[in-house]
A and B are shown apart, each in its own frame.
Chain A
């Protein structure tokens, strides 16, 4: 599947541009990088603007909110269980952020500080993520896999309820079949109460 990327709006901070001039990186984005787009995100890609007759896609990024992603975890689920919503970027109250791609790729990452929001992916932080953030992200990852295994629709509320239901368990135990069933049962009950 050939992909053509267009990046028309190149908003670069002057300070960043200067610091990059003496670095020898020719390519901002290389195959394998994760970048975000409007309707979801692909491994290397941005918003799907149009599809050509031969199957090639045309992608673009609209603002600095989209761009190359830094440290985090990519989780693969079936695209059919991701709920179609207005926004796909969520900052969960438990301390991590999540991007639910419509193609089934879910990106978990530590909630960035204020100044990182405007970078647009031009600066990737390689600083170690704190242990508490890591625990939250690992727990979320296991919850996502548990929800996917039981075919529960994925959206910010369901992910959050599942996270809260899993708190009494150890992170690595969440994927054990018996414990997974308990957590999903509790999540489903809460979701039914929330809707009804």
Chain B
């Protein structure tokens, strides 16, 4: 990801600030920046959400399709992720760079979300062994200043949770005719649909190590001062579902433990206000103003 150049003296300044819990913009080490979330922004999807966090804008669309379940788990549906890192976002996304990053992001998201602890995959089953719902999740990023902030995963995970909350999957009726051939009928009523239970869907928290301490939601300048970061996905109960280390620098075991604890704290605190906000937004219904993605 594109990084801004920072001089040695600036790095020292940032490090001392982080040590004293006063970052460049006055935040504490565990504070997020101003976040805006909007759901139901794309009309031809089953669910969508848009989030802007700092300079990162993420749009997530969800479509549900009927497919064949995986052989190992015939009574479960599954999720698939498609991440689009457009060349508009940052020059490093051009050509192969964007593809590699996209693949890396998709794999990480799969690990985090596509397991039975995060989502009730059994509820996605239509006919065991034959049909199931496949949830396709499309993500795309827009960066305002052509630079990638250090909170990409955080923003994507929150947007995915919001989009899944917003998703409505039509109810199906399975009818069997005389020859035993099963037919799947989608309900015609647009309001006859099932919602997904997103209570256990985790949120990703990225912690960047700067000096001896760590920060959440790093800006570009802070990211330039950090050599390693830890990505933790945390559910609303504080359970850690996935941990990944990014960056070329090293982390000693004590740091990893401290960062994991901090990640759990921050992640747990994210869920309650997020769910409240999503429910409030939904209750506003048609009356709320839709800004849309390009607005």
Is A20 an interface residue, CB under 8 A from the partner?
no
Specify the main secondary structure of chain B where it touches its partner: loop
Residues of B within 8 A of A139 (CB): 26
In the complex, are the beta carbons of B33 and A175 less than 8 A apart? yes
> B25 on the interface (CB 8 Å rule)?
yes
Q: Decide yes or no whether A117 CB sits under 8 A from chain B.
A: no
Q: Which residues of B contact A31 (CB under 8 A)?
A: 5
| List of B residues within 8 angstroms of A172 by Cβ | 25-28, 31
Contact of A72 with B34 at beta-carbon distance under 8 Å, contacts A31-B5, A32-B7, A172-B27 already known: no
Chain B nearest Cβ from A112, distance in angstroms: 13
For A73, list chain B residues within 8 Å (CB): 10, 13, 24
Residue in B closest to A145 when the chains form the complex, CB atoms: B25
- Docked-complex contact A33 and B24, CB < 8 angstroms: no
- The one of B5, B9, B12, B27 that contacts A69, using a Cβ cutoff of 8 Å: B9
Cross-interface CB contact of B9 among A124, A131, A177, cutoff 8 Å = A124
Q: How far is the CA of A139 from the CA of B24 in the complex (A)?
A: 9
Complex CA distance for A74 and B6, rounded to whole angstroms: 9
Chain B interface size, as a band, is: 20 to 34
B-side contacts of A69, CB under 8 Å: 7, 9
Cα(A134)–Cα(B13), bound, Å: 9
| Stretch in B15-23, B37-45, B82-90, B157-165 with 4+ CB within 8 Å of A | B15-23
How far is A177 from B35 in the complex, measured between Cα atoms in Å?
Answer: 11
Q: Is A43 an interface residue (CB 8 A)?
A: yes
Contacting residues, chain B, for A174 (C-beta < 8 A):
26
A126 CB-CB contact with B under 8 Å: yes
Are A135 and B26 closer than 8 Å at their CB atoms?
Answer: yes
Instruction: Please give, as numbers and ranges, the residues of chain B lying within 8 Å of A74 by CB-CB distance.
Output: 10, 221
A91 at the interface (CB under 8 A from B): no
B5 pairs with A43, CB closer than 8 A: yes
Chain A residues within 8 Å of B10, by CB: 34, 71-74
Residue A3 lies at the interface, judged by CB distance under 8 Å to chain B:
no
A interface list, Cβ under 8 A from B: 31-34, 43, 69-74, 124, 126, 128-129, 131, 134-135, 138-139, 141-142, 170-172, 174-177
Chain B interface residues (CB < 8 Å from chain A):
5-10, 12-13, 16-17, 19-20, 22-28, 31, 33-34, 221
Q: Can you offer 28 A-B residue contacts whose CB atoms are under 8 A?
A: A32-B6, A33-B8, A71-B10, A71-B13, A72-B10, A72-B13, A73-B13, A74-B10, A74-B221, A126-B12, A128-B16, A129-B13, A131-B20, A131-B22, A138-B23, A138-B24, A138-B25, A138-B26, A139-B26, A141-B24, A141-B25, A142-B26, A170-B26, A172-B27, A172-B28, A175-B33, A175-B34, A176-B34
Please give 19 more A-B residue pairs, beta carbons under 8 A apart, in addition to A32-B5, A141-B24.
A33-B8, A33-B9, A34-B10, A69-B9, A124-B9, A126-B9, A134-B17, A138-B22, A138-B24, A138-B25, A138-B26, A139-B26, A141-B25, A142-B25, A170-B26, A172-B26, A172-B31, A175-B33, A176-B34
